[in-house]
Amino acid sequence: MKNPFKNTAFLFGVTKHKNLPKDSGIEILLSGRSNAGKSSALNALTGNKKLARISKTPGRTTEINFFEVEENFKLLDLPGYGFAKSGHSRKKDWGPLLGEYFENREALKAVLIFMDIRHPLKPIDLEMIELCESFAVAYVPVLTKSDKVSKNILIKTIQQVNKATNAQEVLAISSSKETGFEKLRKVLLSLKDG
């Protein structure tokens, strides 16, 4: 199947609410703890290894990065929460930005919550889930690095996350093995069209 995300391009990064672009079209947020494999997933999703910078240092993304999939459809890469290197001052800056974004943004359709399959549902992930639920925003837990666990643990973890959340669906992906991305693309397109 042709990859509908193949032509995704980086537009710009935003650190302040007033710098957000016009509130139109559809935006899907990509969120997750630092090192959850979000940038790798974005690169595998689009088939472009250079799209999102992958760093050995957690927390390189310190602004909301806008990626355009097609006209009126954007993916927004959030800073990894709990990042070490850029310090708490940054978190202070984009914490309110996120709150305002959730509260006021018409274009926000859904949030993908990336979690390392070996450490899902950390308190900070649950906070993001709570944020989505309090603003009635759809969210999809995406378990990354699924190649690092046995089939048995994979199934158990999906069930565990399913039970602990009100998500319609829980996905498991592996960027290094490029598995689970067909399904992720389908889910993203259905969120866009939904």
Per-residue pLDDT tens over the stretch 70-116: 999 999 998 877 543 444 444 455 567 788 889 899 999 999 999 99
User: CATH assignment of 9-193?
Assistant: 3.40.50.300
Single pTM value for the model: 0.90
CA distance 147 to 116: 11
> Domain ranges in the chain?
9-193
CA nearest to 145, candidates 127, 120, 111, 124: 120
